[in-house]
Amino acid sequence: MLPVQPRYRPTVGQLAKAHTFRFLTMIAAWALIFAAFIYHPEWIRGSLRFLTHSIETVGDQVPEPWGARLEIMLRELGGIIWLQIAVAIVVLRLIIWVPFHLWRLSRDRKHY
């Protein structure tokens, strides 16, 4: 019989740091979307077209009637703008997170 492992619970400081990162990246993504709307609206138009074509392609691959339902749900019921915002937030978080994660990995390897 295996011993019961204690559950790992993050500290309040770790939770605060994670949520602060999430909140600030969300605010930064909205600011970048607003700046793109003012200065480079063609970027937003291009990403909207890309997402629309992607949704159509995925909808065509799903058997009927679910493909049509999926396409309507994602494109026509307001999902496309929220998908674009969510993608912007995720991409921004990855752009910020990846270099710092690689730096931490290299720093941890130096200690061994």
The domain of 53 spans 22-110
In a domain, 64, yes or no: yes
pLDDT at residue 32 in the model: 93
In a domain, 11, yes or no: no
- For the chain, the domain total comes to 1
Q: Does the global pTM surpass 0.75?
A: no
Alpha helices (H) in the chain, listed in sequence order: 12-39, 41-61, 66-71, 79-110
Q: What does the pLDDT profile of the chain (112 residues) look like in tens digits?
A: 667 677 788 899 999 999 999 999 999 999 999 999 999 999 989 988 988 898 889 889 999 899 888 888 887 766 678 888 888 999 999 999 899 889 988 888 876 6
In a domain, 8, yes or no: no
In a domain, 6, yes or no: no
In a domain, 13, yes or no: no
In a domain, 2, yes or no: no
In a domain, 17, yes or no: no
State the Cα–Cα distance between residues 38 and 27, nearest whole angstrom: 17
